[in-house]
Amino acid sequence: MHPSNGRAAADAFLTVRGLRKTFGDEPVLRGVDLRLPAHRTMSVLGRSGSGKTTLLRLIAGLERADAGTVVLGGRSLDGVPARERGAVYLYQESLLFPHLSVRENIAFGLTLGAHRGRDLDGEVEAMIDVLGLTAHADKRPHQLSGGQQQRVAFGRAVILRPKLLLLDEPFANLDAAIRTQMQDLFQRLAAAYQITALFVTHNLKEALLMGDRLAHLRDGILKTYDSRQAFVDDPVVGVRDEMAFWTALREETS
């Protein structure tokens, strides 16, 4: 074993070993291994259909794996239902509850059995403030823009201080400017709330921006990288091709 891998295994907060999933006759994940230390974000880059969403759903407990184990914070999640895992899933769509206001959406998780008894009002108001949504707190989701809706979805997840945040291309439906704002917001929240997260995306730039750990998922096989340099140097990832394209464009236009 590589020395750095051994250290990573010892420090790992999330450990996934040999995760396999087949739908019908089609294998989607073929033995995925990954280790992620606490308070770090791993970007998982992959094309559509590469198994990214399945990987997150298995870790969240929304699908049952054919084989493999998931250990989170030293606890095996085998047979643990989704509601007891402490892993919150964030979707491409904000999925705000349409009958609730912004404030009620953000407070939603705190009012469920698992979190009752916490200082609801204080935490919710603080989160609304952090998200910059004070003026919109009493609005319904349909009165918000796409970016604001996704901010509320982040707040609703982060306020629970989950052990793990699973982000399934949460910015894919946003335009470029809002996407940049949201990436910045996520990085601020991740630092402030010491979030451990798996961030899947098909966007190369976003993967590099969001993750301090990097991985590439292709045909159900996950490859993790020890450094950004190793990620950039791997021809399968496509960073070199991207850089060559922009360099050629700069030379052509200068």
Partner 1 sequence: MHAPSASISRAQAIVAALLAAVCLVPFAYLAALSVADPWTFPALAPEGWSLARWGRMLTGAGALGPSLSLSLSLSLTVAIASTAAGYVTGKFIAYHPWRRRLLVLAYVPFVMAPVILGVCLMYLFLRMRLAGSVAGVMLAQTMFAYGFSIIFFNAFWSARLKAMEDLVATLGGTTAEAYWRVLLPVSVGMLLICFFQTFLISWFQYGLTLLVGAGKVQTLPLKVYDFVSEANMYYAALASCLLVLPPVALLWVNKRFVFRQGLGTT
Closest CA to 150 of 125, 184, 123: 184
Least gap, CB of 109 to partner 1 (angstroms): 4
**Contacts with 218 (C-beta within 8 Å, 6 or more apart), sequence order:** 46, 47, 50, 236
Between CA 51 and CA 66 the distance in angstroms is 14
| Number of DSSP helices (H) and strands (E) in the chain, helices first | 9, 10
Interaction between residue 213 and partner 1 (CB under 8 A): no
Between CA 51 and CA 230 the distance in angstroms is 22
The dihedral sign for the CA sequence 74, 90, 156, 198: positive
Interaction between residue 108 and partner 1 (CB under 8 A): yes
Interaction between residue 230 and partner 1 (CB under 8 A): no
Interaction between residue 46 and partner 1 (CB under 8 A): no
Interaction between residue 12 and partner 1 (CB under 8 A): no
Interaction between residue 243 and partner 1 (CB under 8 A): no
* The pair of three-digit structure tokens given for residue 48, joined into one six-digit string: 């559509």
Binding part of the chain for partner 1, among 9-17, 111-119, 186-194, 236-244 by CB under 8 A, reads 111-119
Least gap, CB of 231 to partner 1 (angstroms): 28
- Asked if residue 46 lies in contact with residue 52, where contact means CB atoms within 8 angstroms, the answer is yes
Binding part of the chain for partner 1, among 10-18, 33-41, 154-162, 226-234 by CB under 8 A, reads 154-162
Question: To 10 degrees, the CA torsion angle through 187, 191, 194, 200?
Answer: 20
Interacting residue with partner 1 among 32, 60, 133, 152 (CB under 8 A): 60
Interaction between residue 55 and partner 1 (CB under 8 A): no
Q: Could you give the string, one character per residue 68-107, with x where binding to partner 1 holds by CB under 8 A and - elsewhere?
A: -------------xxxxx-xxx-x-x-x-xxx--------
* Sites for partner 1 among residues 164-183 (CB under 8 A): 166
Between CA 121 and CA 173 the distance in angstroms is 31
Contacts with partner 1, residue ranges (CB under 8 A): 60-62, 81-85, 87-89, 91, 93, 95, 97-99, 108-109, 112-115, 142, 156-157, 160, 166
